[in-house]
Structure 1
Amino acid sequence: MIKKLQLEKQSRKWRLLFLFSTSIVLLIIGILISLKWGAAYVSWKTLYEALTYQGHEKAHLYIQTLRLPRTLTACIVGIHLALAGLLTQLTTKNPLASPHVFGINAGASLAVVLGLVAVANFSIMDSMLFAFVGAAAGALLVWSLIGGTGQKQYVRLALAGISVHFMLSSLTEGLIILNQFSTDSMIFWLVGSVNQAAWLDVRTILPFTILGLLAFSLMLPSFRMLMMEDEIAAGLGQRVAVVRAIGMLLVIILSGSAVAICGPIGFVCLIVPHIARSLIGINLAALAPLTAVLGAVLLVYADFISRFIDFPYESPVGIVTAAIGAPFFIYLARKKGDAKS
């Protein structure tokens, strides 16, 4: 029996190593193809010279100032959205929950557009601040409608979240139309796009990435308790309400900063945690980092695919994530509905 347990433990260890290695290799490949292929042809030699800063030709500058920050932004935003989705599902105990479905992304979008309309010289830090306030307002609105967390709130949460999402999205689009902000770049931003990302965006969002990852790591034992029933966690000395509040605050930071940079990219925060959970189980210490890596992988490849939808013109990455995520959400909703019946 002991030998069997040791073999099972070793098997799980090798499985984890394989999954993480494969995910990291996929991410590296995605970064390389994202840097190499696009509207302009770039050779492998030119790419290497640009990444090692050995040249100052037009092609080198093109990679260093356009493609590289765009790819890094896609990685960072993918990590933000994936972890925000995992945290939302943990804090609400609901597999259908995500910042997108929960109204957080739509609230952040509305606040950013409102800031663009109302504030002169609206800076990227102003965008961050407004996004955080809007994300918090969206979450509180949906939370007030569902009236709690409970295990049987799946359909109620989905209905409340989608209703709030469409309401806030309609207000956002109305603001753009009434104030003549409906430019191509703004429409791209509303769908979700990283094609305008620059080094300023990377430098702005990176501190929130570090803060979010550090806080997530420190709170990991407490977040693990959220996977239990509230009564059991409280009996073990866990302050469930405080931990849940910290979790939602992290969701607002991660999701709000991502929306401020790239707009409300949909469904990454919903599908990635489920994919990671199906591969690795509910071991949160392994689930969280795998979710982060897979989030980066998904958004990098989705951004790469979006370049060729209407080549040589750009398309928003949100088109690709929505095409993948919408059927996945319907599948999850039907699966949970069948489980309850």
Structure 2
Amino acid sequence: MGHKAPSNKKNKPFLTKNGKAWVILIGGFLLLLLSIIVSISMGEGKTSVTTILNSFFHYNEDNIVHQYIKEIRLPRALAGVFVGIFLAISGAIMQGMTRNPLADPSIMGVMGGSELAIAVVFAFFHGTSYLFLLFASFIGAGISAMIVFSIGSWTKGGLTPVKLALAGTAIGTMFSALSTTIAIRFNVARDLSFWYAGGVVGTKWSSIPFILVVAVIGILIALFISKKINVLSMGEDVALGLGINVFWTKLLGSVTVVLLTGASVSIAGMIGFIGLIIPHITRFIVGSNYRLIIPCSGILGGLLLIFSDMLSRVINPPYETPVGAITSLIGVPFFLYLARREGRGL
């Protein structure tokens, strides 16, 4: 009798990379919906799921609980989801374009630029509209990004990952110091305290239309350039050899990062490390294809931030712990691990 050839079935993964991506996208989206319900139910005077659903489908203007859900808790939950999506996608784009595993809007100084711009608005443009504040945040993020990339490019040896992180940290720290100086000098420290701490508490419905517009524009551009980022992540020489317009790809990617990060800071303040952590986790699950990394990072980023927001309410009730502190506690050890691993690139 002949012997059967050894089977390779044991070596085949249960799910392909595409299959895992679909699990994240579909399962993560459903989990996001559930998380929004749970987030709304939390806080002082816990609300039942039945009451929440009634407020959605049978809203009663005379019901105080319905009003509270609609005007306070629902905008907060939605803002948490979108800010997490924005920061995670920004981090994925930055890491792909720069080939820098340490890239993140908070580490690269982009958030510091937004923070400084908001401080200037509070100090010199009292009673300004939210749209103007959003625009100023975009401008600050853009200027900061240009300075960081310029400093990193001018140094000897070129733009290595660790040099880019060091330049971003230095510029971000300088901008934060300037923001603090302006806040003290012009007596706007109380107004800026929310942005320093980071969080989505106090988000109003007036912010949601701008969040949706930024989400549509930013996510569509990110998906559009995702295939080009795949090539760019292999190196500029390879990208040029394959006919990729490196300048326009980087420009579109930078505009997307500035747009998403600027909106995030104007809504939730300084929330760091989501853009660092989530793309790494996503790459571990779905591989190195940015057509999968970008949308999956968005879903996982939204989940991380809304869970962090919920955790902020249960650590020290009835007080709330800043969400930025929670994400930093998670992100700093992760950053130190990556910095040590990439330190040979100096």
Specify if TM > 0.5. yes
TM-score after normalising by structure 2: 0.91
SS at structure 1 position matched to 2:137: helix
Partner of 2:40: 35
Contact 2:92–2:293 (CA<8 Å) still a contact in 1?
no
Q: Which residue of the partner structure matches residue 75 of structure 1?
A: 81
Q: Matches of 2:18 and 2:257 in 1, distance apart? A: 30
Aligned to 1:168: 175
The equivalent residue for 2:284 is 278
What secondary structure sits across from 1:159 in the alignment? Answer: helix
User: What SS class does the counterpart of residue 219 from structure 1 fall into?
Assistant: helix
Give me the TM-score of the superposition, normalised by structure 1: 0.92
Residue number among 115, 132, 138 corresponding to 1:126 in the alignment: 132
Structure 1 unaligned runs (5+)?
none
**Alpha-carbon separation, structure 1, partners of 2:218 and 2:159:** 29
Equivalent residues, number? 337
- Residue deviations 1:232-277 (CA, integer Å, cap 9, x gap): 1111111112211211111101101111111121111111111111
Quote the residue 1:51 is aligned against.
56
Matched, 1:195 2:198: no
Equivalent residues of 2:81, 2:305 under 8 A apart:
yes
1:150-191 alpha-carbon deviations (Å, 9 max, x no partner): 8971221121111111111111111111111122x5312222
Measured at CA, do residues 108 and 152 of structure 1 come closer, stay the same or move farther in structure 2, by a change above 3 Å?
closer
- Once residues 281 and 122 of structure 2 are traced to their aligned partners in structure 1, the CA distance between those partners, rounded to angstroms, is 36
Question: Rg: which structure is higher?
Answer: 2
Q: Equivalences for 1:253-332 in 2 at 5 Å? A: 253-332=259-338
Distance 2:228 2:38 in 1: 39
Q: Is the 8 A contact 2:273 2:328 kept in 1?
A: yes
> What is the 5 A alignment of 1:157-236?
157-183=164-190, 186-236=192-242
Question: 1:23: which partner in 2?
Answer: 28
What secondary structure, in the 3-state scheme, does the structure 1 residue paired with 2:127 have? Answer: coil
Deviation per CA, 1:85-122, whole angstroms, max 9, x where unpaired?
A: 11111121111011111111000110111011111321
Does the 8 Å CA contact 2:106/2:112 hold for their aligned counterparts? yes
Distance 1:124 1:152 in 2: 36
Q: Please report how far the alpha carbon of residue 133 of structure 1 lies from its aligned counterpart in structure 2 after TM superposition.
A: 1.0
- Could you tell me the percent identity over the aligned residues? 33
When structure 1 is superposed on structure 2, of 102-111 and 275-284 the one drifting more is: 275-284
Q: Secondary structure at the match of 1:102?
A: coil
| Cα RMSD after superposing both structures | 2.3
1:142 paired to 2:148: yes
Letter in 2 for 1:179: F
CA pair 12-142 structure 1, distance change in 2 beyond 3 A: closer
- Per-residue deviation, 1:9: 9.7
Letter in 1 for 2:300: L
The match for 2:341 among 331, 335, 341 is 335
Output the CA distance in 1 between the equivalents of 2:92 and 2:256.
Answer: 11
Amino acid in the other structure paired with 1:35: I
Label 1:156 to 1:10 Cα distance change in 2 as closer, same or farther (>3 A).
closer
Q: Distance in 1 between matches of 2:293 and 2:53?
A: 34
